[in-house]
Chains A and B, each alone.
Chain A
């Protein structure tokens, strides 16, 4: 456990996700998720490791890509694990305002933010 595993086994991600290759919720690499506190019995080791990442979170969130990097899991596998945890009520997805579904509104907010920080 003391050093990172370099595991070239390509079967493993597939087994880890129960044979699924797509998450059931719309979870993307840039999706930000927040974790519920506390532990739950019956979680698989990957799910426990994933939730353990949030120990120093203080209510903050992580992007799925950040989780993939920290756990050295493939991004595609991580998306599925996160979607499962959301379905089980152990994680929540950052909820956008209704207007964010309109791309023009989000793009304008990004533009305003970039200008404010340039």
Chain B
């Protein structure tokens, strides 16, 4: 286990470096001069030239990359050229918000997807199963953006039960924080719940066919115990891997949900960063997402080993 951890951690840094190089290189391929995007409507040539010089847009890409990397090693993510705000502070504000949203969505996915998956597997071929499949299909195909607006119209505008958007930090009030995150988490969790449901259903059907289930039945164990104690833990092993990887997806996929509910997460930060050619912002966000993603896959591997004794040797 220790070797596995060390080996994976050793790969982490070079991978991040590679990701940063790729992002840096790719965004420089984008057409459109950031100095022009910054110069505003008047577009004074003198100002444009000054901005190019100030932010070193004129330098060769490897030099710009080197400057950026050097600052990063010293813990400096740079300053947003658009808003002149420090990117480190922006990340510190936004990363926890997006992570909270991803965790809550994952909880929604688990509490909705897993039970429906089990029910569908046990009632395979029955109307329950078809109902679950329909849920899965809908969950995967309904766009988050549309679902979000519909929920706002129903729960906020018509019923007045929930706030239509905005974010309350947990430091201000945990209750209001959870209420402000309820709809976004439901919306973002729907897709993952559908994926979970399909995997749990498949894994459960597989597990119920295994010898140990037959043996348990032969010994007269109650069906409920067979399902919950024998089949489910085995069926959940792939779900753990899936869950951790989906968590990364949730981080990346939060953009639209954040936009609909005006949640100040970092999904939107990267999109705006690309459009205004605010390279340092894009760079920082992508690097953070990649780091979280790599960390999650590391956790997935560890969890897999812990859950499956056969892999421990």
| A, B from the same assembly | no
B residues bordering A, Cβ < 8 Å?
Answer: none
